[in-house]
Structure 1
Amino acid sequence: MEPFIVSARKYRPESFEDVVGQGAITKTLENAIQNNHLAQALLFTGPRGVGKTTCARILAKKINQESGHHDPDEDFAFNIFELDAASNNGVDQIRSIVDQVRIPPQVGTYKVYIIDEVHMLSNAAFNAFLKTLEEPPAHAIFILATTEKHKIIPTILSRCQIFDFKRITVSDMREHLKRIASKEGIEAEEEALQIIAQKADGALRDSLSIFDRVVSFSGKHLNVQAVTENLNVLDRETYFQVTELLLENNIPQLLVDYNEIMSKGFDGQHFISGLASHFRDLMVCKDERTIPLLELGEQTKAKYLEQSKKVDLAFLRKGIEIANDADFNYRASRNQRLLVELTLMQLASINLDGEKKNDLKQILPATYFKDQSITSYPQDTTISTETKPTVADNDNQVNTPVASTPEQIKAEPSATKPKPTQPSKDQQVATMPGEDTATETPSTTPNKSLEEARKALLQKSRRKVSGLSIQGIEVQKNHVALRQDQQLHQDKLPEEDFTQERLHEVWQQYIEHLKARGELILASILNADQPQLKGRKLCLKFPNESMKVTLEQSQGQVMEYIKRELRNYSIEFDILVDQTVTKKYVYTDQDKYSKLVEKNPAVDLLRRTFDLDF
């Protein structure tokens, strides 16, 4: 089996024309070589994987080729010296370079020194390099490469000609991956390459590494499903479906789909931030002049254009605001899944008729979805327009039409009833208010039942009393008085006599009960002292205040058990803090020895017999 060469090495550019996305820099370097206008020290800076080291090697080889002293088959490798500053960051390595610079090249005109990750050099190494970098020999050129320019001291920066490499755009990266796929004989979907380019985040080397990984997974056919499954990313189709459900106010199906997304291992914050980005892309598609801002394929752009026509601009603005708030509060939330689910409910309630303009947290009631069925993922359900609720203008109460149950539908003998006919315009008679009609058409029955449901709901809302009103305070007082009348009086509870032995027995039983439940701290506190019965009080003494406070916090459950077992509801606790019962901790050797002798007197006999020291 032949050794595999990764694409980042196999397709590494050999000339400036092959470099992707850095046209301005490569053009500048080519002109500088042709016009003999190249500086003695160059600094290539930029993010990872954008071509800094590649351009340095191409430049080093091209310098000697353009000097006129070269053979087409000649290798200039011995004229190029590469140093990894991450592992050679001391003064000795820099002094070794300074000594080598004085020796002219054997072949060619220039000796090129490429120092990668130059920001890793120590301050002493930078200072030892200053003079040589400022006035090198005529045959020496230094190319420094770094990802963190701010860590380089200013005296080094002032001696270099700086080239800032930019991040590779998604479109350039996609086209480069398409060329490589064509050379490798791989059938790749454009949307799949788009996802790889976006995942690489501007680094071409990362995109090639991801490309190799996905090809190993899917073989010669690279599609969107293989890429999303291997990279564990949510495809855009998911966000299109979620947006459709939001526009339909379909909260149950949204929650089912989100549960399916969570079961696949996706992070909730990744989902909600991606949804906000999806809203942003839809907003960009609202104007044809801003469509080029989308770095997407033509098919995906067409989907965005189609869905943007269905979405109102106000919905997108409120949706981005709600999604960003959820993204901001996600890490601090104790129940992160609930936060995302509430966010989806709020998003699905934005298009509710009659909604207040500034109310972003209104959620549709559960009664709105009682007649809707939920399908399994990834199918989505649609909501019939006949069952949409209306919102009252004054009290924000949602009224839902009363739908016929399946039993009622079966009970109606529709087969025996004649099908109602629609009267013509000549047969229609206008009915004035106050006139009675001899017959009632079937179409008026749903309106009558709907009117009755609205009146019943209105009466129910009128019976509600606000807790901040005078009437609400009076109702609250009556409720408290009624609860007090329902409570048992103290004289009706048992007060049987018990002995000190019986008290200790119940006490130990409760301690064992706590240990079995895993409440070891409370069990240890109760085991520190045995209660002494004095009249109706159970007296306890503890060595510190913290034990007393802990017991007082759990006093209710302890007393409930003791009273129930002793059948006496008149007893109560009397907890005291006595510093004299504090345990003496063993610190010194003498204390340790005394403790051992106290437990076993034979230890002292052993020491005196053999004349030992403790």
Structure 2
Amino acid sequence: MTDSPEDHGSGPGLDLGVPAQPQPPAPKSYRVLARAYRPQTFAELIGQEAMVRTLANAIRRDRLPHAFLMTGVRGVGKTSTARLIAKALNCVGPDGQGGPTIDPCGVCEPCKAIAEGRHIDVVEMDAASHTGVDDVREIIEAVRYASVSARFKIYIIDEVHMLSRNAFNALLKTLEEPPEHVKFLFATTEVNKVPITVLSRCQRFDLRRIPVDLLVDNFRMICGKEGVDAEEDALRLIATAAEGSARDGQSILDQAIAHAGMVDGRAFVQVEQVREMLGLSDRGATRRLFDQILDGDATALLATLAEQETLGVEPVATINALLELIHAVTMAKAGRGAGLERHPEAERAAIAGWAEELSFPVLHRLWQLLLKGHAEVVAAARPQAASEMALLRLIHAATMPDPLELARMIREGGQGAPGGQGGAPAVDGPSAAPAAAAAPLPAPEEAARPVFPPDFAAMVAALLDRFPRLGAEMHDYVSLVRYEPPVLDFRILQPLDADFPRQVAAALKDLTGQSWTVGSTDAPGEPSLREQQVLAREARIAHASAQPVIAAALDAFPGAVVMDPASGQS
């Protein structure tokens, strides 16, 4: 007879005097902050109040679109918003009798299943790994069947811009007229790569970058729940480094907590530790560098740069810190001192002093030269050497007079003008005044101003004449957001070359002789010029068709069409 395991050491009459060893508890897996604090309700979704208000009104008035498109930079809540919409549409309330709501209960079975990612009627697909037409065909086949247990069958497609062109084309018809029980939720970081035919079938929500103050409040709340102490400046530094992304900021905060020391048994996140962790330039060193640039002290500047290199500060971080400081000084001089509260007290006084001392032309020149230096440092094989050369160039530019000052000095006879010794010899005596008056320099306001096309349409016409391909793309696939020469902002309506804005800037410089600032944005703009032409043609045809004589002719001759005399199209 074989004894069972229970017969050894625990059965009656067999006590060996050895106490039973308790089993160690199973290790609890740690969830990173970005996952642990992912928004579970719309109230927890920070920085997107306009979108939440629109969704609330749509649900309240039963005006729900069949397709949603969420776009924005990484980490602002696109996928989380899609899941919250899925919960809002399928929530049945604690009693099981509720309808769609902007405040899902979180306790009913649909809410819990969607939050845990196990609801059979909420299908989440990553378009980055399912890019083909076959993956879309599976969706097209499945939408014909009713949902199993939910009110709506919902398809969440993340990074939808990664779908192939054939996959997009296969989805179009279903996306335009899906069954009543189906909703599509798309998320993308690159909306300009989504075909306009898809965009026109979706209700679009542009999720904004999250302001620094809201991120700081979020990090303070997380630290309180995690039992962590943190300096306010440390949290603000993390929020600034996050660049508007809650997920990036929470990941940096997670790293900062692991990096922090312990005080009274609690982790204590300090600003200097965060700065060291991120490889950022110390603010005191940045102010010292700026003072050395303004003083023209090249020796001290190079010594400070060498010290920063020894501390492990990245050269590009030093340039970024100087750019931020010059921007703060310029904003303070322009009267926007309200933004200075995010700077330490000692820095605010220094910024105010520089704002009083420096002129706008000097600040703008420093900014432009530093931007050029930033590009050089990023592209250089030796970033430290590139940063040294860029800041030495800044030293010489800081002490140069601006063009208006040079013009004034020349009008006053060249006294004190740089390089005056190399010109013609000075003339003393009575003949000096007539000589100076012979060729007066025109006042700055009388100088010739560059001539720009009067409007966007004229600019595109000029491009069509000189650069046909570029002009045609601007005409057909670009939505104007801002035209304030020499600044041009537009939204690209269908995929174009990655460097399309640079090509446009180069062409406009060739046309006008002036440098242009050309940018691509996701902000809404005007219809493209081609769309405007189509709308105008349709309006002309509709107006003509409404005339009694033409309407009677159309009734008398079935199949007849009205031709637009301006375009020759029906």
Q: TM range, normalised to the smaller chain?
A: 0.5 to 0.7
C-alpha deviation, 1:111, in angstroms? 1.4
Q: How far apart in 2 are the matches of 1:174 and 1:10?
A: 17
Residue in 2 that maps onto 1:525: none
Q: 1:168 aligns with which of 210, 230, 237?
A: 210
Cα distance change on mapping 1:358 and 1:327 into 2, 3 Å = farther
Cα distance change on mapping 1:173 and 1:333 into 2, 3 Å = closer
Answering whether residue 28 of structure 2 is matched by residue 5 of structure 1, we say: no
Q: Deviations over 1:313-364 (max 9, x none)?
A: 2653453354345445556879865664455456556787xx766699xxxx
Cα distance change on mapping 1:44 and 1:359 into 2, 3 Å = closer
Cα distance change on mapping 1:302 and 1:114 into 2, 3 Å = same
Answering whether residue 94 of structure 2 is matched by residue 47 of structure 1, we say: no
Cα distance change on mapping 1:335 and 1:49 into 2, 3 Å = closer
Q: How far apart in 1 are the matches of 2:247 and 2:332?
A: 31
Residue in 2 that maps onto 1:64: 90
C-alpha deviation, 1:113, in angstroms? 1.2
Q: 1:242 aligns with which of 264, 286, 289?
A: 289
Q: 1:74 aligns with which of 109, 115, 120?
A: 109
Residue in 2 that maps onto 1:184: 226
Residue in 2 that maps onto 1:88: 130
Q: 2:59 aligns with which of 12, 25, 33?
A: 33
Answering whether residue 269 of structure 2 is matched by residue 222 of structure 1, we say: yes
Any unmatched runs of 5+ in structure 1? 361-391, 398-460, 470-614
C-alpha deviation, 1:103, in angstroms? 2.2
Cα distance change on mapping 1:201 and 1:138 into 2, 3 Å = same
Answering whether residue 177 of structure 2 is matched by residue 130 of structure 1, we say: no
Q: Deviations over 1:135-162 (max 9, x none)?
A: 1111111111111122222222221111
Between the aligned residues of both structures, percent identity stands at 34
- SS in structure 2 at match of 1:103: coil
Residue in 1 that maps onto 2:43: 17
C-alpha deviation, 1:127, in angstroms? 2.2
- SS in structure 2 at match of 1:285: helix
Cα distance change on mapping 1:290 and 1:135 into 2, 3 Å = same
**Aligned pairs, how many?**
367
Answering whether residue 326 of structure 2 is matched by residue 291 of structure 1, we say: no
Residue in 1 that maps onto 2:302: 255
Answering whether residue 162 of structure 2 is matched by residue 120 of structure 1, we say: yes
Check conservation: 2:212, 2:239, Cα contact below 8 A.
Answer: yes
Q: How far apart in 1 are the matches of 2:159 and 2:138?
A: 18
Q: Where do residues 109-508 of structure 1 align in structure 2 (5 Å cutoff)?
A: 109-219=151-261, 220-287=267-334, 289-293=335-339, 296-297=342-343, 299=345, 302-308=348-354, 311-313=357-359, 316-327=363-374, 330=377, 340-341=387-388, 344-345=391-392, 347=394
Q: How far apart in 2 are the matches of 1:94 and 1:54?
A: 22
Residue in 2 that maps onto 1:104: 146
Cα distance change on mapping 1:108 and 1:332 into 2, 3 Å = closer
Cα distance change on mapping 1:344 and 1:359 into 2, 3 Å = farther
Q: TM-score, normalised by structure 1?
A: 0.54
Check conservation: 2:330, 2:355, Cα contact below 8 A.
Answer: no
Cα distance change on mapping 1:298 and 1:25 into 2, 3 Å = farther
Q: TM-score, normalised by structure 2?
A: 0.57
Q: Deviations over 1:481-522 (max 9, x none)?
A: xxxxxxxxxxxxxxxxxxxxxxxxxxxxxxxxxxxxxxxxxx
Note the aligned Cα RMSD (angstroms).
3.5
Identify which of structures 1 and 2 has the higher relative contact order when contacts are C-alpha pairs closer than 8 Å and 6+ apart: 2
Q: Deviations over 1:78-103 (max 9, x none)?
A: 33111112212222222222222222
- Greater Cα radius of gyration, structure 1 or 2: 1
Letter in 1 for 2:163: L
Q: How far apart in 2 are the matches of 1:331 and 1:41?
A: 41
- SS in structure 1 at match of 2:288: helix
Residue in 1 that maps onto 2:21: none
Any unmatched runs of 5+ in structure 2? 1-26, 99-104, 114-118, 262-266, 406-414, 426-570
Q: How far apart in 1 are the matches of 2:68 and 2:402?
A: 58
C-alpha deviation, 1:167, in angstroms? 1.5
Cα distance change on mapping 1:308 and 1:126 into 2, 3 Å = same
C-alpha deviation, 1:114, in angstroms? 0.8
Cα distance change on mapping 1:97 and 1:298 into 2, 3 Å = same
C-alpha deviation, 1:271, in angstroms? 2.3
Cα distance change on mapping 1:175 and 1:301 into 2, 3 Å = farther
